Structure 1
Amino acid sequence: MIELDNITIKYGSATVIDGLSLTVEKGEFFTLLGSSGCGKTTLLRAIAGFIKPSSGRIVVDGEDVTSTGPEDRDVGIVFQNYALFPHMTVFENVAFGLRVARKSKAEIAQEVNDTLNRVGVFEHAQKKPSELSGGQQQRVAIARALVLGAQVILLDEPLSNLDAKMRETMRSEIRNLQQKFGLTAVYVTHDQQEALVLSDKIAVLVGGEIEQLGTPREIYHQPATENIFRFIGEATMLSAATLGDLGEADLAAQAGTRQCFARPEDFVIGEKTGPEWLNLNAEVVSSEFRGNSMRLTLKIGDSTVLCDTVGRYQDPEVGSAQPVSLRREHLRIYGAG
C-alpha cells in the first residue's frame, strides 16, 4: 500500500533520513517509533507530501507520488494538535474538504452525518471544538480524514495532548476505527507502550535509520540491539562477574566485559529446576507495592536488579534472602556473537 524506496531527506547540509526503505501493507497499522529528533515526523510529512525527499521514491497504492502535492495523495492526516478550525462547528470542520471538492449540499450533509455517526460524535455536530473534550476533538479530526474516502491515514502523535486515562481509551478507539474501516495507518509516537498496544508492525528509528523492524512481540522479546532493549520496556542488568560468582562460567565468558540484560518480569521468586533455569541467591534491598504487582529491588552478587512479581505476595523483609530464578533464554548479551 505504501512503499518508501531508498528515501533520503536533507535540511541544508544535514541529513535527517538516510537511504531508508520500508513497505506498509494494505490494512496494516504501522508505527514509526523513536525518541525526539530521530526523523519519524519528517518521514510522516514526506509520506503526506509536505516534504519532498532529496532522493528516492514514495509509492502509495501503486502510484508514484514523490512529486505529488498533499492534496492529491488521497491520504488523511491527524495532526498532534488536531488542527480543527476553532470558529467552525464540528459539522463544518468535517464538511470543509467536501466543500473544497465542490460536493452538493445534499451529498455533504449525508456523508458528514454518516461519518460523524460512525466515529461516535454525531450528537456534537453543532458544537465548536472548544466545547469538546480532547478525545472528542480527536474523533472529529479522524472523521475529517475519513469523510474524504482516504484509505491511508497518517497520525502524528495524536494522543500527546491527552491525560493518561484518556490516552488509554483513545488508543483503543483509534485501533478499533482503523480495523472497522480497513484503513492503512502510519502512526508516529515516542511512547513505547502506545506502539506495542496499537501496532501490527513497528519500525524503531534511530538517527534517521531503521534500527529494527518487526511485530510488537519481536521488538519487545527479541530486541536487536542493546539500545532497543533499553528503549523498549525496562531493562535490568547482571554483570559478568556476578554470573562467574554464581558458577555460570560459560555465560560469564560469553559476556566478557559486557553487561547481561533481562526484563524485571523475567525474574521469578523461588527456585526452578531444569537446565533452562539459572538459580540465583538474592538479598532484598527494597519492595514497592503496586496493586496487582510488587516491584522488588534485589542484590545478586555485585549486581542490583529489579524483579516484578504479579499476584498476592507478602512484602519480603528488607535484608532477607530470596531464591530467584531466571530462564537462560531471557538473558541477553549484546555484541557477544
Structure 2
Amino acid sequence: MIIYRQSARVLVQGITGKQGTFWTQKMMECGTRVVAGVNPKRAGEQHLGVPVYATAKAAMAESPFDVAVMFIPPAMAREAALDAIKAGARTVVILTEHIPARDVIAIHHAAARHRTRIIGPNTAGIVTPGEGFVGIMPGHNPNIFQPGEIGVISRSGSLGTLICLNLTRAGFGQSAFLGIGGDPMIGTTTRDALQAVDEDPRTRAVVLVGEIGGAMEEAAAEYAAGMAKPVVSFIAGRASPPGKKMGHAGAIVSGTLGSYDGKRRALEAAGVAVADTPAEIPGLLGAGPRDRLRQPAAHALSV
C-alpha cells in the first residue's frame, strides 16, 4: 500500500515519545485509524486511548495492523523495522533519517522477502486529505491539504508542503500526497509512486517534485510518457554547482548524469510540463500544454 486509505489500521512504533505522541494525536484527529503503539518499557499501558505493546509482533496478535510508522532513533531503526516487517505489516513508513547504510540494506532485504512496502527512510509520510495521514506531514492543516484530484509526489517534506499549500490556495485539492523519502536507498521510488497515483481512480492529474542527482526522475519520465493522466513537475537544484553533494541523499551531479538539465529534458520529452518555480505549478495545471489541463486555475479539475 502506497496511498493511505482510512480503512488501514496503523501501529505507531515509539508512540509514547514527544514526537510520537504529538503526531499520533494529529493523525487521529484527521481520522487515521491508530490501533496500537509500541514501547517495550511501557507495554501493557494505554496511551492516547490505544494499547501499548512491547513489540510489533505482540501488537499484531492482539491489535492487528496494516501500516507501521516509526518514531525511532537511527540506532534502533533496524530492529524496529524488522519487528514490523516480520509481524506482517503491509507497509512500513520509516521517518528516521541517518540510519546506517548496512541497516537500511537489511531492512530492504527483509521487506522484499516478506513482501512489505517500505516508504522511506527519511520520509515525511503520506497523506490522503479527508481520510487521514501517516507521518509528520501537516495533514491536519486545512490551509495546506484539501480533498481533491491532484496526486503529489515528493522526496522533500518541506517542498511537498509548499507545493500542496500553493495548490490549495489556487483551488486544487489533493487526492494523495506521497513523500517517498530522502535516503540514498529508499523503498518506494518516484516511478513506483507515479504508477500508484496513475492507477488511483480519484487522481486526475499529478505533480511530481524531483531533485537533482540519481536517475529516479528519468525512470519516472519513461513511465509518464505512457500515461493518460497529465503530469507537471518541479525539479529542485537548478542552480546547484556540478560535483558538489546536494540534497537529501547527498547526490553528486557529474556531467549530465543526474543534472537538472538532463532531468528536465527527459520529463519534457515525455510530455511533462516542468515549472521553473513551485509557484508556477497551479498555473500549469490550469493552462498546461495538454488539452486535458485546460481548466480554470481557481477550480479543481472535475471528473
Task: State the TM-score, normalizing by the size of structure 1.
Answer: 0.31
Structure with the bigger percentage of strand:
1
Q: Which has the larger radius of gyration?
A: 1
Q: Which has the higher contact order (CA 8 A, sep 6+)?
A: 1
